[in-house]
Amino acid sequence: MEEKTILAQILQVLDLYAADVRKQFEALHEKFDSLQRQVQALNEQTNTMNKRIENMDERIEEMDGRFERQIAQLERTINERFERLEAKLSHVRIELVETQETVDFHSVKIAQHDRKIRHLLHAR
């Protein structure tokens, strides 16, 4: 009988130990579940952030393309205006040369007439 009581006490101690171990396993399991939920939440946040970053990258590339097109259009417009300005300046140069030639011609004629008038005045 003593053996049965000792055996019963050992079984009782083992039951208590097993219950304690079960509680520890349950606590570890809860911690593990909590960590899994946190990791899953972090993954979801990371996925959301990645999607936002991809969206921002797409928008930046789109803006970059628009800016490049606008810059190219501005360069074409500026080049066209410079070409028109060069053409106008070329015409102005031609007109100035022609005006200078006219002034030179008239200066020569005026000098010739002045000589004739002086010659006529001296001849009198």
SS (H, E, C) the chain: CHHHHHHHHHHHHHHHHHHHHHHHHHHHHHHHHHHHHHHHHHHHHHHHHHHHHHHHHHHHHHHHHHHHHHHHHHHHHHHHHHHHHHHHHHHHHHHHHHHHHHHHHHHHHHHHHHHHHHHHHHHC
Mean pLDDT of 65-80: 97
User: b vs e for 29-68, b when ≥16 Cβ sit within 10 Å of the residue's Cβ?
Assistant: eeeeeeeeeeeeeeeeeeeeeeeeeeeeeeeeeeeeeeee
Whether 69 shows a pLDDT value over 90: the answer reads: yes
Query: 82-94, pLDDT tens digit by residue?
Result: 999 999 999 999 9
State residue 91's pLDDT score.
95
User: What's the pLDDT score for residue 3?
Assistant: 81
Q: What is the pLDDT of residue 47?
A: 96
pLDDT tens digits, one per residue of 24-34? 999 999 999 99
Give the pLDDT score at 123: 84
Checking if the pLDDT of 102 tops 90, the result is yes
The Cα 70–Cα 95 span in angstroms is 37
Task: Give residue-wise pLDDT tens across range 27-67.
Answer: 999 999 999 999 999 999 999 999 999 999 999 999 999 99
